[in-house]
Amino acid sequence: MKIKIISSITVLVLLASVDTMAQKTLGEATKGKFLFGTAVNMQQVNGVNPIETELIAKEFTTIVAENCMKPQPIHPEENRYNWDDADKLVAFGEKNKQVVTGHCLIWHSQIGRWFFTDADGKDVSPDVLKERMRQHITTVVGRYKGRVKGWDVVNEAFEDNGTYRNSKFYQILGKDFIKYAFQFAHDADPNVELYYNDYNVETPAKCDAIVGLVKELKAAGCRIDAVGSQAHMHMNSPTLEATETSFKKLKAAGVKILITEWDISILPSPYDGANISASFKYSKEMDPYREAIPDSIQQKWNKRVLDMFGLFLKYHEVIDRVTVWGLTDNTNWLNNFPIRGRKDYPVLFDRNNQRKPVVDEMIKMAEKQ
């Protein structure tokens, strides 16, 4: 009789510990190492799918707006701002005691054409563009002063070969548009953290250009707290070595590192990276896992996730945050980029809002550190 009672107690304790393990979140497991978060869309903030909303509130210690705080959505016309979505998202993060990041103040994409054009449809003068940048940055950063921990001040200003992207900002103001943006953001909120954000930071020439920018900004007396490495990855690129080399270079430049938009596409890629302006034609061979993923491929993806996450943990002293670019495979931007209408599996929750098995492996890894 006694043995029976002991064994049933043992079973209960075991179940409880398994259950606790299952309950443990990545946000909890990475506490003390780095913030762990996700990009959030407005359907999730508005509770259109309550399961997703609940998961975001529970699983993560930080959130970032996938779209609503970008130049075009938040400032669609020179004299009109659209605060509703951004206000709701920031309030959502505060309610869930999450750190909120602002993305993004200055970007060549998703920005109103009005920013660069005068009444005659011609390019505005450097002074006019600089003043429009100042207005935009001062107003947006000022509105969320003390509520947003840091801003992606400038997004994607370099090409992969390390040259400046020939954006309208660059054409009209030259490379100094970056310095102006950081200065305006700091003037608007001296306590907010300021970041430069880009994709393919693991590419040596691009990483060197970003390190050069960090040094130039510091030499000009500008505050720059971190470089955001978007980390939009594929099955074979970037390599672990290239990723680690970029971490070493950025650490040596005296800035923190943020993994700002992490996802790992499992699909064949017509090219590496996330240069949003590229696009390619749909074909069946480029969309091989519509019905299901062969276990061998899933295992390869899991290993890729764990290898990269292990590297992030190795550099947790200089990495302040890891953000996955979206909660579930279902609503992920990669289903339509760089090829529209594909079925990708790039993030940590599946199409049924279930945590993928690799997440428990990640939690074990984080707890072992």
Active site residues: 156, 261
Specify the residue, 201 or 358, whose C-beta has the smaller distance to ligand G3I: 201
Cβ atoms of 194 and 234 within 8 Å: the answer is no
Helix axes 295-314, 240-252, angle to 10 degrees: 20
Rounded CA separation 329/38 (Å): 13
The residue (of 128 and 276) whose beta carbon lies closer to ligand G3I is 276
Integer Cα distance of 50 and 45 in angstroms: 9
Instruction: Select from 57, 128, 205, 276 the one that contacts ligand G3I (CB under 6 A).
Output: 276
Q: Please identify, using beta-carbon distances, which residue of 29 and 258 lies nearer to ligand G3I.
A: 258
Q: Coil, strand or helix: which one is 341? A: coil
Residues 104-133 contacting ligand G3I, CB under 6 A: 109-110
Q: What is the CA radius of gyration of the chain?
A: 22
Residue 194 pairs in a beta bridge with: 151
**Per CB under 6 A, 66 contacts ligand G3I:** yes
Among 203, 230, 243, 265, which residue interacts with ligand G3I (rule: CB under 6 A)? 230
In the bound state, the residue with its beta carbon closest to ligand G3I is 333
The verdict on 272 binding ligand G3I (CB under 6 A) reads no
Q: At closest approach, how far in Å is the CB of 245 from ligand G3I?
A: 22
SS3 assignment for 172-207: HHCCHHHHHHHHHHHHHCCCCEEEEEECCCCCHHHH
CB of residue 69 to ligand G3I, shortest distance in Å = 10
Q: Give strand pairing partners of 178.
A: none
Should residue 258 be labelled a site residue for ligand G3I when binding is judged by CB under 6 A? Answer: no
Q: Residue 166: how many CB atoms within 10 A of its CB?
A: 10
Binding residues among 306-345 for ligand G3I as defined by CB under 6 A: 333
Give the nearest distance from C-beta 264 to ligand G3I in angstroms.
14
- Does position 67 interact with ligand G3I (CB under 6 A)? The reply is yes
Which amino acid would we find at residue 163? Answer: T
Residues that bind ligand G3I (CB under 6 A): 66-67, 109-110, 155, 199, 230, 261, 274, 276, 333
